Amino acid sequence: MEKIYITTAIPYLNGLPHAGHAMDYYLADVCSRYQKMLGNIVRFQAGTDEHGNKIYQKAKELNIPVKDYVDANAQKFKDFIKKLDVEYTDFVRTTDTEHEKKVQEIWLKLKDHIYLARYAGWYCTGCERYVTEKEYKENNGICPDHQKPYEKLEEENYYLRISDFKEQIREAILSKRMLILPEFREKEILKLLDESPDVSISRPKEQLTWGVPVPDDDSQVMYVWIDALANYITVLGFPEKDISDFWPAYAQFVGKDILRFHAIIWPAMLLALGLELPRTLVSHGMILSNGQKMSKSIGNVIDPIEVLDKHGTEAFRYFFLRHVDTFSDSDFTWEKFEDSYNNELANDLGNLVQRLATLCFKNNFELKDLPESELPKEYTELMDKFEFSRAFDFVWEKVQGINRKIDEDKPWSLAKEGKLTELNQVLSSEVMDLLEAAKLLSPFLPETAERIAQVFSGKIEPPKEPLFPKTK
Ligand code: MSP
């Protein structure tokens, strides 16, 4: 039995949860449920990133005290995660007093690698980072993610000396001690690491009021990323507590847009603190809407609550875990969503359960005992490599295989012909296959897997309401 720590990126609170945010939670949740199925103990962090100018300005715009604003939005994210049926164990808010205190202690521990300097450069408030002159030119002065012009900033900041750790980070990436997934991102990160200047980690108080004050210097406030990244360890109790039970993290889930912070600044912070690097950084693709990243600033956000309310949590999980490739970008359209619901969930799975349960019911069939089965190697290999959408495909092929098997076995003909031994054999093998598929399905669609297990244990009766009623 291992102790496994899984983390998710903590969203900014300058807007409501959108469908894109679900990706981190879902991938982490599949990982967590799978690890628990293997018998491991899982700690699963989620939280909210509550400091910084974007949030401060938004609250100002709405004329709400900023603390009230973040309190309300943090609650919305908690409700959202609950609605997604995601089993996190720890929730951290960067405005928690405990977190703020710990971040200040962390800052003091980083001191040997921090210096003060004056800097002039281009900044994007959307990304909350400076961009290099080269990036500025390549993007013609406009941030491609936020569609906003970069701002010219000149100010005194504290810097984290990334150069102290470049070699160690490079070595950790190349030796796969800190595995970056998908692996094709490795090259890009190594290049960014090479080019990475030291990172500004504070801003003058006049420029950033809503943040954690830098200890021993009243004039500066911590840069949001230092504060935010630290959440992964403050929530475990660092620096007061020994966190070696759960740290290093088994997997940290982030979107590809923020992989650079997790693959460069974060490891530098960890190395400066004398902590191990995470085992794996899993970076997923973006959910697009009309071909563009879904984002509050662009205004093409899909309201997840609408999707959840229409077809329920399991249909939402199904679409995002199977039809959104784990590692590349995918476009969300209602048409694709409805098609996958009707053709796959309703037809392939819902009908299968109904059909097989009806056959069992009519023929008075009950499964006597279910032999313990091993998880198939193909499945565990994909799950261990975090290839979740492909593992889900594998399970779905099994589901479709059972449908084909029933068509071939024709249990209804066996019943008509009175071939009862054969009938029992085929029903038994089909039900066992379905229960096995349900087990493999459980990290993805936990409620559905549970319902299937219930329907086919003891006296079998078809569900009164099919699992996924068709909508067209
Ligand atoms: N606050 C930072 C993260 C700090 S982690 C120490 C941040 N917040 S965010 O709200 O912009 O994004 C939160 C997570 O949601 C990130 O992993 C991000 O990649 C993900 N997504 C945001 N929009 C997304 C899509 N449209 N599609 C998929 N994931 C998206 O970055």
Say if 222 falls within a structural domain.
no
**Could you tell me the mean pLDDT of each successive run of 10 residues in the chain, 472 residues long?**
97 89 96 98 98 93 96 96 96 98 98 93 85 91 90 92 97 98 96 93 91 95 95 98 98 96 98 98 91 75 80 92 92 88 95 97 90 92 97 98 98 95 96 97 98 95 91 76
Pocket test for ligand 1, best of 16, 49, 229 (most atoms within 8 A of CB): 49
Atom of ligand 1 nearest to the CA of 21: 15
Pocket test for ligand 1, best of 257, 281, 283 (most atoms within 8 A of CB): 257
For ligand 1, atom 23, the nearest C-alpha belongs to 20
**φ, ψ for residue 370 (rounded to 5)?**
-100, 115
pLDDT (0 to 100) of residue 15: 84
Atom of ligand 1 nearest to the CA of 228: 6
Cβ–ligand 1 contact at 258 (below 6 Å): yes
> Are residues 399 and 349 in contact, defined by beta-carbon separation less than 8 angstroms?
yes
> Are residues 276 and 316 in contact, defined by beta-carbon separation less than 8 angstroms?
no
Collect all residues with Cβ–Cβ distance below 8 Å to 61 and sequence separation of at least 6: none
Ligand 1 midpoint to CA 240 (Å): 29
Say if 460 falls within a structural domain.
no
Give residue for tokens 């992964």.
232
Ligand 1 midpoint to CA 9 (Å): 6
pLDDT (0 to 100) of residue 142: 94
Cβ–ligand 1 contact at 24 (below 6 Å): yes
Tokens of 148: 């906003």
pLDDT (0 to 100) of residue 309: 83
Tokens of 317: 């999980």
> Are residues 427 and 363 in contact, defined by beta-carbon separation less than 8 angstroms?
yes
Give residue for tokens 């349960």.
357
Kindly report the CATH number assigned to the domain that includes residue 449.
1.10.730.10
Return d(Cα 319, Cα 323) in angstroms, integer: 5
**φ, ψ for residue 61 (rounded to 5)?**
-55, -40
Say if 437 falls within a structural domain.
yes
Give residue for tokens 């013609």.
140
DSSP for 283-348 reads EE-PEEETTEE--TTTT----HHHHHHHH-HHHHHHIIIIIS-SSS-EE--HHHHHHIIIIIIIII
Return d(Cα 117, Cα 356) in angstroms, integer: 71
Pocket test for ligand 1, best of 27, 281, 286, 295 (most atoms within 8 A of CB): 286
pLDDT (0 to 100) of residue 419: 96
- CA 362 to chain CA centroid, Å, is 43
Return d(Cα 398, Cα 414) in angstroms, integer: 23
Ligand 1 midpoint to CA 255 (Å): 6
116: which strand partners?
Answer: 158
pLDDT (0 to 100) of residue 409: 96
Ligand 1 midpoint to CA 256 (Å): 9
Cβ–ligand 1 contact at 27 (below 6 Å): no
Q: Quick one: which of 434, 307, 443 has its CA closest to 379?
A: 443
Cβ–ligand 1 contact at 128 (below 6 Å): no
Say if 164 falls within a structural domain.
no
Cβ–ligand 1 contact at 443 (below 6 Å): no
Given the DSSP bridges, would you call strands 3-8 and 41-48 parallel, antiparallel or unpaired? parallel
- The 8-class DSSP code of residue 36 comes to H
Largest CA distance in the chain: 89
Say if 446 falls within a structural domain.
yes
Residue 398's domain comprises: 333-455
Q: Where are the alpha helices (DSSP H) in 63-217?
A: 66-83, 97-110, 133-138, 166-174, 185-195
For ligand 1, atom 6, the nearest C-alpha belongs to 229
Ligand 1 midpoint to CA 11 (Å): 6
Determine the 3-state secondary structure of 6 from DSSP: strand
Say if 451 falls within a structural domain.
yes
Angle 351-362/388-409 helices, nearest 10 degrees? Answer: 40
Cβ–ligand 1 contact at 49 (below 6 Å): yes
Active-site residue set:
18, 21, 124, 127, 143, 146, 293, 296
Cβ–ligand 1 contact at 331 (below 6 Å): no
Ligand 1 midpoint to CA 417 (Å): 60
For ligand 1, atom 18, the nearest C-alpha belongs to 255
Cβ–ligand 1 contact at 391 (below 6 Å): no
Burial status of residue 103 (CB atoms within 10 A of its CB: 0-12, 13-18, 19 or more):
buried
Instruction: Name the helix (H) or strand (E) containing 380.
Output: helix 377-384
Tokens of 85: 């049926």
Atom of ligand 1 nearest to the CA of 257: 19
Distances from the Cα of 53 to the Cα of 145, 201, 216, 300, angstroms:
17, 14, 22, 22
For ligand 1, atom 2, the nearest C-alpha belongs to 11
List b or e across 275-311, with b for residues whose CB sees 16 or more CB atoms inside 10 angstroms. Answer: bebbbbbbbbbbbbbeeebbbbbeebbbebeebbeeb
Ligand 1 midpoint to CA 39 (Å): 30
For ligand 1, atom 10, the nearest C-alpha belongs to 11
Ligand 1 midpoint to CA 21 (Å): 6
Return d(Cα 147, Cα 175) in angstroms, integer: 37
Cβ–ligand 1 contact at 88 (below 6 Å): no
Task: Provide the 10 A C-beta neighbour count for residue 251.
Answer: 22
**φ, ψ for residue 251 (rounded to 5)?**
-150, 135
For ligand 1, atom 5, the nearest C-alpha belongs to 9
Sign of the Cα torsion 343, 345, 348, 354 reads negative
Cis, bond preceding 248 (omega within 30 deg of 0) = yes
Q: How many structural domains is the chain composed of?
A: 1
Return d(Cα 89, Cα 375) in angstroms, integer: 26
Say if 103 falls within a structural domain.
no
For ligand 1, atom 29, the nearest C-alpha belongs to 20
Ligand 1 midpoint to CA 427 (Å): 47
pLDDT (0 to 100) of residue 271: 98
Distances from the Cα of 271 to the Cα of 103, 176, 259, 276, angstroms:
16, 16, 17, 7
Say if 115 falls within a structural domain.
no
> Are residues 123 and 76 in contact, defined by beta-carbon separation less than 8 angstroms?
no
Tokens of 12: 């900014």
> Are residues 6 and 43 in contact, defined by beta-carbon separation less than 8 angstroms?
yes
